[in-house]
């Protein structure tokens, strides 16, 4: 198992998180996609495709029209133009006028997480809970930690709108005014990855690291390879403002003027998937391939099935800008009346499916928490190089260590298990350490280290 695949399974989100913009002709899209978990690339999304963000899990979504209930989840700063979500269900918005980020808990408690550069548009999140915003007025990207500490990560091209993130926590922005894409490494090194069509607004990424932008000024989608080679993938409807991607690599854009969604295959074949409400601006996708748009002009959310059947899922606050889905299939939009709307499907079939999804999510969350702890602990154990082996084996080994500690007995392992543990190379250890910066439970580290010493008879 490669480290890249392992990280994808643990970190990539199960729903596509996109960046939104406030200007009708300047939109943003973004992030992360959950690839491995959903069998395709990635913060945030990868995913429906979003990369390295919160610990999302596969979701069961409904494939037919449903009754729904809309309510206001909480208040935000002024003009929340984009939205994202973490593994605990907390919502975050980039507030264009206030130059800050709001955090709203699942219970509806609203706070200001931290400040940003001038006029933040796109927003995304990584697996450690760090928030990133594309600052349109400052040509920069802000990073806000889970504790609310704000810094400028790096500079961008002119007028960054959309933002996304890859599995190595590199940040990408669609720069509307300079018609290009910026790449910023975790260390803050900024470069121009490649050029785009006219006025790129939305941005997304696939599992191979290819970048796609929705070009609102030229009615098309650009593709930029990791090597920086730029091409036009295909055409769209009128004024594509946001973008997302499915596991098969099909691209979808919300077309602001033509009130529809375009689908472009990896081969570049373009079709209209279905119609939307008035002025669709934000777009996202679920694990079943259903598309959702936030319709700015009609204050509602459209749902389009893979077969192209379009329905209005529910109403929103005034002028919704961005849309996202949580693990239970609830829809959230950030609205220009400084609120976040939550839409819950209410028919019995939906409730049953949501309950099943929630149970699966809880189980997966527990497993992923264990794996995350292992990943965080291993690089902290001085002088030892351990191999994760298969993820399930890693869990078994961790539980054996804990059990042995509790009984104060040496832990017996087979020769193959010991070989698996000793197998980890220095390069992988460095990658794990690099990708798991942040707070670690030192008590857990000490306990695990002690268990390993018992295991080795040291």
pLDDT score at 66 = 56
pLDDT score at 309 = 95
Element of type H or E holding 313: strand 310-315
Q: Has residue 237 got a pLDDT over 70?
A: yes
* CATH number for domain 3-346, candidates 2.120.10.30, 3.40.50.720, 3.60.20.40, 2.60.40.420: 2.120.10.30
State how beta strands 171-175 and 160-165 pair. Answer: antiparallel
CA-CA-CA-CA dihedral for 371, 376, 379, 381, to nearest 10:
-90
Average pLDDT over residues 333-356: 76
pLDDT score at 239 = 98
pLDDT over 70 percentage in the chain: 61
**Lowest mean pLDDT segment, chosen from 120-124, 156-160, 440-444:** 440-444
Give 261-316 pLDDT, tens digit per residue: 999 999 999 999 999 999 999 999 988 899 999 999 999 999 999 999 999 999 99
Banded pLDDT at 68 (limits 50, 70, 90) = confident
pLDDT score at 107 = 94
**Alpha carbons 83 and 121: distance in angstroms, whole number:** 10
Cβ-proximal residues to 113 (8 Å cutoff; 6+ apart), any chain = 92, 100, 101, 102, 103, 131, 144, 148
Mean pLDDT in the chain? 75
Banded pLDDT at 232 (limits 50, 70, 90) = very high
Asked if 118 and 135 touch (Cβ cutoff 8 Å), the reply is yes
Q: Has residue 157 got a pLDDT over 50?
A: yes
Q: Has residue 390 got a pLDDT over 80?
A: no
Domain ranges of the chain: 3-346, 358-456
Across 334-357, b (16+ Cβ under 10 Å) vs e yields: bbbbbbbbbbbbeeeebeebbeeb
Q: How far is CA 277 from the centre of its chain?
A: 25
Cβ-proximal residues to 32 (8 Å cutoff; 6+ apart), any chain = 12, 13, 16, 17, 42, 43, 44, 45, 46, 47, 49, 50, 51, 52, 53, 124, 125, 164, 165, 205
Which two structure tokens, joined as six digits, stand for 180? 């290009």
Banded pLDDT at 428 (limits 50, 70, 90) = very low
Give 165-221 pLDDT, tens digit per residue: 998 999 999 999 999 999 999 999 999 999 999 999 999 999 999 999 999 999 999
Q: Has residue 55 got a pLDDT over 70?
A: no
Classify residue 457 as left (phi > 0), alpha (psi -120 to 50) or beta. Answer: left
Average pLDDT over residues 408-437: 46
433 or 276, which is more confident:
276
């Amino acid at each position: 198992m490669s480290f890249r695949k392992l990280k994808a399974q643990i970190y990539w989100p199960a729903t596509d998180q996109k960046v939104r913009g406030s200007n009708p002709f300047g939109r943003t899209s973004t992030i992360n996609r959950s690839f491995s978990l959903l069998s395709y690339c990635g913060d945030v999304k990868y995913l429906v495709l979003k990369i390295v963000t919160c610990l999302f899990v596969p979701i069961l979504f409904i494939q037919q029209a449903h009754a729904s209930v809309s309510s206001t989840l909480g208040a935000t700063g002024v003009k929340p133009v984009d939205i994202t979500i973490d593994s605990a269900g907390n919502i975050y918005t980039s507030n264009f006028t206030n130059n800050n980020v709001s955090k709203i808990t699942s219970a509806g408690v609203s706070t200001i997480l931290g400040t940003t550069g001038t006029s933040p548009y796109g927003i995304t999140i990584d697996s450690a809970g760090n928030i990133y915003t594309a600052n349109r007025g400052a040509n920069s990207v802000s990073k806000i930690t889970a504790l609310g500490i704000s810094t400028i990560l790096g500079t961008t091209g002119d007028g960054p709108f959309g933002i996304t993130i890859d599995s190595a926590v590199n940040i990408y922005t669609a720069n509307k005014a300079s018609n290009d894409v910026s790449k910023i490494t975790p260390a803050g090194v900024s470069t121009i990855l490649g050029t785009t069509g006219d006025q790129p607004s939305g941005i997304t990424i696939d599992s191979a690291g290819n970048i796609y932008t929705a070009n609102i000024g030229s009615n098309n989608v650009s593709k930029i390879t990791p090597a920086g080679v730029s091409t036009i993938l295909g055409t769209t409807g009128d004024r594509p403002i946001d973008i997302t991607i499915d596991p098969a690599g099909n691209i979808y854009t919300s077309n602001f003027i033509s009130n529809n969604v375009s689908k472009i295959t990896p081969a570049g074949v373009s079709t209209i998937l279905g119609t939307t409400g008035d002025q669709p601006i934000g777009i996202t996708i679920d694990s079943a391939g259903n598309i959702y748009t936030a319709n700015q002009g009609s204050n509602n959310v459209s749902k389009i099935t893979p077969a192209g059947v379009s329905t209005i899922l529910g109403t929103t606050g005034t002028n919704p800008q961005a849309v996202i889905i949580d693990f239970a299939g609830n829809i959230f939009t950030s609205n220009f009346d400084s609120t976040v709307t939550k839409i819950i499907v209410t028919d019995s079939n939906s409730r049953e499916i949501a309950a099943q999804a929630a149970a699966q999510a809880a189980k997966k969350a527990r497993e992923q928490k264990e794996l995350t702890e292992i990943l965080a602990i291993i690089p902290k154990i001085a002088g030892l190089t351990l191999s994760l082996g298969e993820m399930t084996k890693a869990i078994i080994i961790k539980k054996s260590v804990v059990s042995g500690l509790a009984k104060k007995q040496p832990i017996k392992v087979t020769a193959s298990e010991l070989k698996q543990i000793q197998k980890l190379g220095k390069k992988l250890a460095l990658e794990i350490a690099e990708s798991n910066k942040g707070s670690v439970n030192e008590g857990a580290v000490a306990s695990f280290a002690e268990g390993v010493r018992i295991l080795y008879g040291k």
